[in-house]
Amino acid sequence: MKYDVIIIGCGVVGAACAYQLSRYALRVGILEASNDVANGTTKANSAIVHAGYDPLPGTKMARLNVRGTELMGALCRKLDVPYRNNGSLVLSLSEEDDAALRTLYERGLANGVPGLRLLSREETLALEPNLSPELRGALLAPSAGIVNPWELCYALAETALRNGAELRLSAPVTAIERQEEGWRLRTPKGDFSAPYVLNCAGTLSDRIAALVGDESFHIRPAKGEYFLLDKSEGTRVEHVIFQCPSKLGKGVLVSPTVHGNLLVGPNAAPSDPEDTANSAQGLAFVRSSAQRSVPGINFRENIRNFAGVRANSDSEDFIIEESSVAPGFIHIAGIRSPGLSAAPAIGEEAVLLLRQAGLELKEKAEFIDSRRRVRFHELSEQEKNELIAQDPRYGRVICRCETVTEGEIVAALHTPIPPVSVNGVKRRVGAGMGRCQGGFCGPRVQEIIARELGLDPTEVLMDWEGTWVLCGETKGGAAQ
């Protein structure tokens, strides 16, 4: 299969690139190693849209963060992605922190972050009454927000597909050969060629670079662990609450999520690129750190722990450049925090780099730039009734904790990127994301996936390849 551009990796960065490229008359192919998109760092991070006062002025990181955050609200409205512009606070809990806040404030001004303000203790407590008694003041960044990171990825990728891009799942790139006109990528799903390749392979992007003989950077994966608390804790804070960054990173944050839960984390520890295990020590650290900023968090209301691996690299900045040894091969690598915030701007940047590398870009006459999905629990009474009258499956609640209907699950299974796993459905519509964690709806979701996709229930996975749920029927099963 021949393309004009191949994107390796369909996390939020690859999807943002695909979305921007699908505006143009190009054949765009996306190769994703996993059986679903958004299945790496994109599904397990802090879900924060950072204002942009952290990165050093003059870096790509600073520029793309501020630009990405500026684009985020409109993009999310257009593509129906849950986003809330709730602002962030960096707390000062010591004299040292006071100085650090001042530095962040000045850096933010240099980076062009809008609306930054240094708040007194009283002003801060007026905004957030549940903060630590040690509080001295805070840096308010009104442009910060929260987003559903995986839905952002789905929205971008689905829109790219609706505009003609093609996606191959379960297609890890195993070898890359230089040919006369660009590159030939080998995968278990066949070979794919293109003159231009975007390396958006996240925590594995240095391994992809190595396949073209480029060893100019190395990924240093760093794992972060989280608690996700019940909605009963979701209003403990209104803003994203940070502590002052230290040598160890941005520190543990406490934030509401767009789903109404409370997210607490992460720590940071070197790890394997795909190691998402939780550790007792890591979780204990996150817990005690978070209590320094918001002492009253009730961890008994925890409903899930998870870990995400950040694609940190040996570079201080994002690595967004054409490879010096492989023409047409463009790295979009080392996209660590604030990578999610920067993603919309990284998509624009990728287009720019491709143009500079010689790709001819012609805008399509028609570009589909919208997306809608039904969220049953958000509808008015009348809308609910109309929808159920049209399709009674919207009247059958499958996930009782999050009020997700069969209609929504079936709709998700017929989108351009249908989920093939229980967690894939969970991330698309929220079924199983609530306090019972799929205890009740898991078996029913399994059954609906099998029915809609024509699979045997034993073929429906929990998540990525190999995560089987059922090992077979009892008593040999019925005669087929």
Q: Which residues form the interface with other proteins (CB under 8 A)? A: 227-228, 274, 276-280, 282-283, 300, 302-307, 377, 381, 384-385, 388-389, 392-393, 395-397, 400-401, 403, 405, 435-440, 442-443, 447, 457-458, 461-479
Least distance between other proteins and beta carbon 232 (Å): 8
Least distance between other proteins and beta carbon 442 (Å): 5
Alpha carbon distance 205, 203 (integer Å): 6
Residue tagged 């969970």 (tokens): 426
Question: Nearer to other proteins by C-beta: 364 or 451?
Answer: 451
Instruction: Look at strands 182-187 and 190-194 and give their pairing.
Output: antiparallel
How far is residue 408 from each of residues 99, 148, 394, 430, 451, measured CA to CA in Å?
50, 17, 7, 10, 15
Buried b (16+ CB within 10 A) or exposed e, 366-388: eeeeebebbbbeeeeeeebeebb
Q: Which of 124, 103, 72 is nearest to 241 (CA)?
A: 124
Least distance between other proteins and beta carbon 190 (Å): 24
Alpha carbon distance 332, 336 (integer Å): 11
Active-site choice (50, 218, 331, 414): 50
Residue tagged 């670079």 (tokens): 209
Alpha carbon distance 198, 214 (integer Å): 14
CA 233 to the chain's CA centroid = 23
Cis before 266 (ω within 30): yes
Alpha carbon distance 203, 303 (integer Å): 27
Answer for the pair 263, 149: CB distance below 8 angstroms, yes or no. Answer: no
Least distance between other proteins and beta carbon 223 (Å): 12
Question: Nearer to other proteins by C-beta: 106 or 447?
Answer: 447
Question: Nearer to other proteins by C-beta: 98 or 465?
Answer: 465
Sheet holding 175-179, edge to edge: 175-179, 182-187, 190-194
Question: Nearer to other proteins by C-beta: 338 or 442?
Answer: 442
Q: Which of 421, 477, 429, 431 is nearest to 452 (CA)?
A: 421
Least distance between other proteins and beta carbon 38 (Å): 15
Question: Nearer to other proteins by C-beta: 302 or 337?
Answer: 302
Question: Nearer to other proteins by C-beta: 216 or 437?
Answer: 437
Q: What is the number of other CB atoms lying within 10 angstroms of the CB of residue 191?
A: 12
Least distance between other proteins and beta carbon 269 (Å): 13
Question: Nearer to other proteins by C-beta: 375 or 384?
Answer: 384
Least distance between other proteins and beta carbon 205 (Å): 21
Alpha carbon distance 464, 33 (integer Å): 10
Q: Is 259 one of the catalytic residues?
A: no
- Just list the catalytic residues: 50
